[in-house]
Amino acid sequence: MNPDIVIIGSGIGGSTIASGLAGSGAKVLILERGERLTPSPQARDTRSIFIDGHFRPRETWREAGGGRFNPGNYYNVGGNSKFYGGVLLRCRRQDFSEMQHFGGVSPAWPFAYEELEPWYSKAEQLFRVRGEVGDDPTEPFHSVPCAFAPVPDEPPIARARAELKALGLHPATLPLGVDIEAWLNGGRTGWDAFPNTGVGKMDAESAPLVAALRDTDITLLTGAHVGHLELASDGRTIAAVHYRHDGQSTKVSPKLVILSAGAIMSSVILQRSRSPKGNGLANSSGQVGRNFMNHNSVAMLAIDPRRRNDSVYQKTLMLNDYYLSGGSGGKPLGAHRRGAGAARRRSHSPYRFQVDAAGGPAGASIEAPLAKDRCIPPFPFLDRVGIGLPDQRASARTSRRSPKAYSQYEPYDGVKASIM
């Protein structure tokens, strides 16, 4: 097939676009470096996931300070969404305007919430989001109500909800792409960080990709690892997408390329593609790979020895009372004031808070987009090096300080790191 459109990556971005293209008559090829996840005992085993890192990629990245880490960035059909928490929140209206946070400014977007609203509604239908609109004062306008009833609170969470309400706060139902009965039939575990190898979680594979592949004009090629994009002689369009499949280097020349390999890997592919300026494709601004916003977890524990928490899935409740205001004229903290001082101070941007266990809530904070927080591939311009060398060496790095490129690799579990 000579495709009209190549989509790189089958995560939420790539698969959702593919589903939007279904029925358009365009021949679409999705190139995905990973394979499909299949059911295994490890998929529902807490130890395998959280301690053994069974599903983690066999690669090591480096921080700016030189520290090495094994990233939680997954390469498989459906991308990271196979492991995600299924929380499908809309950004708040105010998120689209500039907002001063505790540790920095969250810049304005070039468009308003209203422009995205119809697309949020479509996405919520595609991902069969369960929830209800109403309890959360920060919830923006919805043109279409949730079509599916919320995932019910487990008793300890229902109690936490009632207690928060009694304090005058506004606990609300998390919008979830989870069919709880189907999920629990596969094993009595939570779903966040557990891979969806069957049904139960609405992820990029189980929702949009399944819909897209009903169109025979859309094809998925797994194990197809894109190395770089080749610039056409006009200096403005892509002449070819170079990838490796079944041990062979090959290329394809579509009319349109959609790069959706994830926030980090999309920037790696661009930075590794040769350009006249020498700093990668689409990078005359020098912004490619910058403004990396890490998603930190903030834990707060409140232990009541008189109560036994027998909940299994827990994650049905959110609290956004401090999302837009820190109270009494304070800058927005996003979430919870008490108990998380030091951690919160380091979080600059919208910061949401979800109760994650009865009395043991966990919050999620997102760093502000700062130009110095960047991702640098070790080998820029891979087309000069060639992909798939037997001793292919690579690492990626998320840097907070020095903008120096890094070009070593680290073995992980005896396997050489291989970002590209």
Ligand X SMILES: Cc1cc2nc3c(=O)[nH]c(=O)nc-3n(C[C@H](O)[C@H](O)[C@H](O)COP(=O)(O)OP(=O)(O)OC[C@H]3O[C@@H](n4cnc5c(N)ncnc54)[C@H](O)[C@@H]3O)c2cc1C
**Site residues, ligand X (CB under 6 A):** 8-14, 31-34, 72, 75, 79-81, 83-87, 192-193, 225-226, 260-262, 265, 269
Q: Kindly report the CA angle at 224 between 223 and 228, in degrees rounded to 5?
A: 145
Chain residue whose CB lies nearest ligand X: 11
Q: Is-contact 138 333, C-beta < 8 A?
A: no
Phi and psi, residue 47, nearest 5°: -65, -45
Q: Between residues 258 and 358, which has the closer beta carbon with respect to ligand X?
A: 258
Q: Between residues 187 and 326, which has the closer beta carbon with respect to ligand X?
A: 187
Q: Between residues 14 and 156, which has the closer beta carbon with respect to ligand X?
A: 14
DSSP β-ladder status, 225-231 and 238-245: antiparallel
Residue 83 Cβ, how far from ligand X at the closest point, in Å?
Answer: 4
Q: Between residues 226 and 362, which has the closer beta carbon with respect to ligand X?
A: 226
Count other C-beta atoms under 10 Å from residue 41's C-beta: 9
Residue 263 Cβ, how far from ligand X at the closest point, in Å?
Answer: 6
126/111 Cα distance (integer angstroms): 23
Residue 152 Cβ, how far from ligand X at the closest point, in Å?
Answer: 18
Distances (CA, A) of 349 to 73, 174, 327, 335, 358: 22, 20, 16, 11, 26
Q: Is-contact 324 94, C-beta < 8 A?
A: yes
Residue 123 Cβ, how far from ligand X at the closest point, in Å?
Answer: 11
Q: Between residues 162 and 415, which has the closer beta carbon with respect to ligand X?
A: 415
Count other C-beta atoms under 10 Å from residue 33's C-beta: 23
Residue 126 Cβ, how far from ligand X at the closest point, in Å?
Answer: 14
Would you say how long the chain is, in residues? 420
Q: Between residues 122 and 159, which has the closer beta carbon with respect to ligand X?
A: 122
365/368 Cα distance (integer angstroms): 10
Residue 167 Cβ, how far from ligand X at the closest point, in Å?
Answer: 26
